[in-house]
Amino acid sequence: MAAPPELADGLAEYIETVRAGTVGRTLSLEQSRLIADRDAAAIAYPRPQGMTVVDSFVVSAGRETPVRIYRPTAETRAALVYLHGGGFTTGSIESYDALATALAEAAEAVVISVGYRRLPEATTRALLDEAVDTLAWTVQMAELLSIDRDRIGVAGDSAGAFIATQLVIAARDGAAPLPCCQLLCYGMFDIDETRTAYREAADPVLPLPVLEAIIQTYRDRDRDDPAPPPPLQRDDLHGLPPTIILAAEHDRMREENAEYEDRLRAHGVTTTFRVAQAMPHGFLRAVRFSEAARDEMQWLGNAARPYLK
């Protein structure tokens, strides 16, 4: 058995804190969701002075999508529509509040965190449709949100990065206004559990059986109402906005992050790529615990800012 990977400062404490409510317990999906929201305060990132946070809803036919709007300063005019991680099944606005708070601070942008419906209750197509509706709503509400229509980007981490890529491709094809940039953090860009890299990585945050279960759940729900093919299975990546990809050294999906960057470059898309050293999957939620994680978040914000100005 391979030795555990060396992690950046604070990551071990973060992992222990996240798992504190689940150790030694067999939980249903609904229980896991509740515990993640109940215990989110344990990993909360302090709100910077001057930041305001408001909850609202995006109303579409037959549904309301919760959104949480983070404004770092009154003067901010740029925005990021943010799709959280959680393997399509467990993440929420609440459990990813720390990441959204830190992202708004680092990018100096209003962050609209999207409480999209999750699998298996929703279908894969429904997740994309909800993201499209939220991006369109953000543009429509730009005046009330005190943001500029031409300074709206998209961001996502993990499964949220997958949704973000699909959203931006759909926007390029006319489903919504095209964002000015996309920020993709340790994303899933393929739906293929046979990847050798998945078995070779020693990521303590995302065990292989969990990743395989995520892929199986996606496939099961995709049969009912198919979404477009995953980004790495598409040949139509031209015309996308500037893209920033932040991968993690120990992540099982590090390889496909690099592959997606290569594919985007081959299609003429401006890209910026970085691998965060000594980091596992999901490390940006550890900003409360780790100076190294905060540094990576700041790098992400710095990289995005020129496109948001």
Active site residues: 158, 251, 281
> Residue 306, class by beta-carbon neighbours within 10 Å (0-12 exposed, 13-18 middle, 19+ buried)?
exposed
Q: Are 127 and 227 in contact (CB under 8 A)?
A: yes
Print burial letters for 1-18: b (CB count within 10 Å at least 16), e (below 16).
eeeeeebbebbbebbeeb
Axis crossing angle, helix 291-308 with helix 11-19, rounded to the nearest 10: 90
> Residue 147, class by beta-carbon neighbours within 10 Å (0-12 exposed, 13-18 middle, 19+ buried)?
buried
What is the Cα–Cα distance from 303 to 202, expressed in whole angstroms?
Answer: 28
What is the Cα–Cα distance from 146 to 142, expressed in whole angstroms?
Answer: 6
- Cα 148 to chain centroid distance, Å, stands at 22
Which of these, 300, 298, 299, 278, lies nearest to 12 by C-alpha position? 278
Axis crossing angle, helix 124-140 with helix 159-172, rounded to the nearest 10: 60
Please say whether the dihedral angle defined by the alpha carbons of residues 221, 165, 162 and 56, taken in this order, is positive or negative.
Answer: negative
> Residue 127, class by beta-carbon neighbours within 10 Å (0-12 exposed, 13-18 middle, 19+ buried)?
buried
